[in-house]
Amino acid sequence: MNFLTLSTLSLSLFILPVSAQTVQFNIEGIQHDKGKLYIQLFKGENNFKKGEAHNVAIVNAKKGKLTVTFNDVEPGDYAIRYFHDENSNRDFDNNMFGMPIEGYGFSNNAPVNFGPPSYQQMTFMVSDVAVINSSTVNY
Amino acid sequence: MQRREALKSMLGLSVAAAACNPFPALANLASANEDIMAQFATSFDKAALSNPSLIGLKSMSGDIPWQNLTIEGKLPKALRGNFYRNGPAVHQRNGQRYTHLFEGDGMIQHFNFADTGIQHRAKFVKTNKYTQEQAADKFLFSGPNSKLPGSLPVNKTDIINAANTNIIPVNGELWALWEAGSATAIDTSSLDAKGLVNLGENTRYSNSLKGLAFSAHPKIEADRTIWNFGSTVTGDIVLYHLNNRGITQKVNLLKTNYRGGMLHDFLITQNNILIILPSLDRDKTDERLFSAIRFNKSLPMKVLVIDKNTLTLTREYQVDAGFAFHFGNAWEDTDGTIRFDASLYPNCENLHHMSDLMRGKTSNATPANTVLFTLYKNGSAHKQTIAGISEFPRVYDHLTGLQNNLLVTLSSVKSDVWSDSVRVVNVNNGKQDTFVYGEDFLVEEHVIVDNSHQEGNGYLVGTALHVPSKRTCVNIFKIGHVSDGPICRAWLPYTLPLGFHGNFMAV
């Protein structure tokens, strides 16, 4: 390892705590305690479209409201989507037409209105302050 | 992606909301910045001042308790039971009006025929949508065709389920039907809504049928076995076989390329299900469900023949371009020749006429005729037209899927708003037994009531709105003597909104 690389690495380690932030995501309107919630954090629209999550949280369902926190999130644009795996089959269940039959939602509480919200409706920026975002479950 | 597409297309809506209006009369309304629902309300209210026939398209403010009706003539002793009808009864709230007749909240009209006479009551189906909007005293949700500024999110079709099209008896309860979503279970005693029917509950299908479209025209065989379909604008058609207790036995999904956006009724024979795909396309740039539908005269109607045992497609026919909301009956010969009738339109003007009516405009939409189709085993088809305007066809219940000789339809001699006549047609020789209520009446679906299982026996029962007196009446005809007029008529003291379909449950 040469000096330049070492310096860069040291610099990164030094900067990371300053620039990376926490993203607190509040999920409201959870109907019951059964099952788990799967929450995916995506970095950028391309990753969202590809379904490649930057981070994932899996938490036990809790009636009413719960909060998950993603730590050390680097600056950039992000989006969150989640679903309530009500029957604990580790899958987001749909009916025969492909319509969701379990609870789900998106960051910014982006509305599902005759179709899913766009990435632009659910995206939020992470910069130099902590982020707090919320959503109510669509059942 | 498939999930997103399904969600996007469930009501036939595009996320792109470009306004494109082919109807010159509506051209000035199509602006994203205008509240078209408010314009429809203003236009209708103004037109209603000078056109009394529009009275049947006004809204009801609430439920109606039991009351005895004034009877003319004599109620037949053999006619005892309950006549239920369903139809949209809230078209307008707080200065905004739906842009299509199919969108209003369903209200159940209940007529009880007893030794003591005829009683009537009415109750709105207390759907989630109705309950919220009634409390708010304004519309909260967009409808399939009406875009409400500031609408609450519609994340599934059942959010705006209006339960407004038909009502059928199933295993001791009633199901109020709306073709884009679930059936709503109704308590027969109270008429209270019990909730949405999950067709897969307690079956191997579990929740996979939850929220699926279940059409408003199930076919119920003599043994009460139920067949139905549901469709999406992306061409997915689900087929249902339910037993006589309403328990799902078998379901299958057909992937078709039909994108017409309107598939209202279907047929069964003894061995097959017939799905008739009309000659319709949709303007993909128009986000409204009904107003985006276009007739395509170069597109033949398709008849999909589906085996009842497997719910799979076995044959397909093409017939001349046309459009039908309703079919009366189908049956097949021993050699496999299939016959069915349709109230067939040469275009889809009537579909848009029902949008025009909502802003108070009557138009001369081309009416339907009864057309008898024959589909031969060799793939050829033949059709024969019966004279006279035809809609709301019905046959004897016990002949559903079997050979029928008689067909009941509404008809129209003069009215350009609604039907003004009822008739019984002999499909073998074309003979018609017709009663013309006259221009003063707006005539609704008439149903056959018969316990003998013999064509030609029994009664016709149906409602009509008398415009000059602003009263609805229920009428009883003796089948075989329809042209003599009703043998009994019971008057309500008020107007009922024009409705769609219903059924008589004899006791």
Range A62-82 average pLDDT:
97
DSSP conformational letter for B357: G
d(CA B329, CA B103): 27
Query: What span, in angstroms and rounded, lies between the C-alpha atoms of A29 and A42?
Result: 23
Q: Would the pLDDT of B247 be above 70?
A: yes
User: Of B412, B482, B490, whose CA–CA distance to B109 is shortest?
Assistant: B490
Q: Whole-angstrom Cα distance, residue B438 to residue B475?
A: 14
Q: What is the mean pLDDT of chain A?
A: 89
**What pLDDT, in 10s, does the model give residues B462-495?**
999 999 999 999 999 999 999 999 999 999 999 9
Q: Is the pLDDT of residue B431 over 90?
A: yes
Q: What DSSP string runs through B401-444?
A: TS--SEEEEEE-SS-SSSB-EEEEEETTT--EEEEE--TTEEEE
pLDDT of B33 strictly over 70: no
**How far is CA B179 from its chain centroid?**
9
Supply the pLDDT for residue A6.
36
Q: What is the rounded radius of gyration, in angstroms, for the C-alpha atoms of chain A?
A: 17
Question: What does B119-162 look like in DSSP terms, one character per residue?
Answer: EEEEEE---HHHHHHHHHTS--S--SS---TTPPP--SGGGG--
Chain A, nearest residue to B208 by Cα: A95
Which of left, alpha, beta for A18 (phi over 0: left; psi -120 to 50: alpha)? alpha
Residue B438: pLDDT over 90: yes
* Cα gap B482→B432, rounded to integer Å: 10
Query: Which residue, among B13, B128, B210, would best test binding to A if mutated, counting the most A CBs under 10 Å from its CB?
Result: B210
Q: Which of A97, A111, A114 sits opposite B6 (nearest CB)?
A: A97
Question: A94: which DSSP letter?
Answer: B
Q: Which of A84, A97, A108 to mutate to test the interface with B (most CBs of B within 10 A)?
A: A97
pLDDT tens readout for residues B322-350: 999 999 999 999 999 999 999 999 999 99
> pLDDT at position A114, please?
83
Q: What is the pLDDT of residues B105-139, one digit of tens each?
A: 999 999 999 999 999 999 999 999 999 999 999 99
Contact B6 A116 (CB under 8 A): no
Among partner residues B8, B15, B209, which is closest to A96 by beta-carbon distance? B209
pLDDT (tens digit, 9 = 90+) per residue, B289-327?
Answer: 999 999 999 999 999 999 999 999 999 999 999 999 999
> B370 and B407 in contact (C-beta within 8 Å)?
yes
> What span, in angstroms and rounded, lies between the C-alpha atoms of B41 and A84?
41
Bridge partners, residue B443, by sequence: B419, B464
Is the pLDDT assigned to residue A48 strictly greater than 60? yes
Per the CB < 8 Å rule, is A100 touching B156? yes
For position B29, what pLDDT does the model report? 36
User: pTM for the whole thing?
Assistant: 0.88
Average pLDDT, chain B: 92
Contacts of A118 in chain B (CB under 8 A): 15
**8 A C-beta contact, residue B325 and residue B343:** yes
Is the confidence at residue B27, as pLDDT, over 50?
A: no
Residue-level pLDDT at B434: 97
Find the range with the poorest average confidence among A2-11, A96-105, A121-130, B276-285.
A2-11
How far is the CA of B180 from the CAs of B127, B166, B240, B392, in angstroms? 14, 13, 15, 20
Output the pLDDT for position B418: 87
Q: Are B317 and B336 in contact (CB under 8 A)?
A: no
Q: Which of B97-111, B268-282, B403-417 has the lowest mean pLDDT?
A: B403-417
Does position B233 have pLDDT exceeding 90, yes or no?
no
Supply the pLDDT for residue A18.
52
Spatial CA neighbour of B222 closest among B78, B82, B395: B395
CA max distance for chain A:
60
For chain A, the first-to-last Cα distance in angstroms comes to 54
pLDDT at site A77: 97
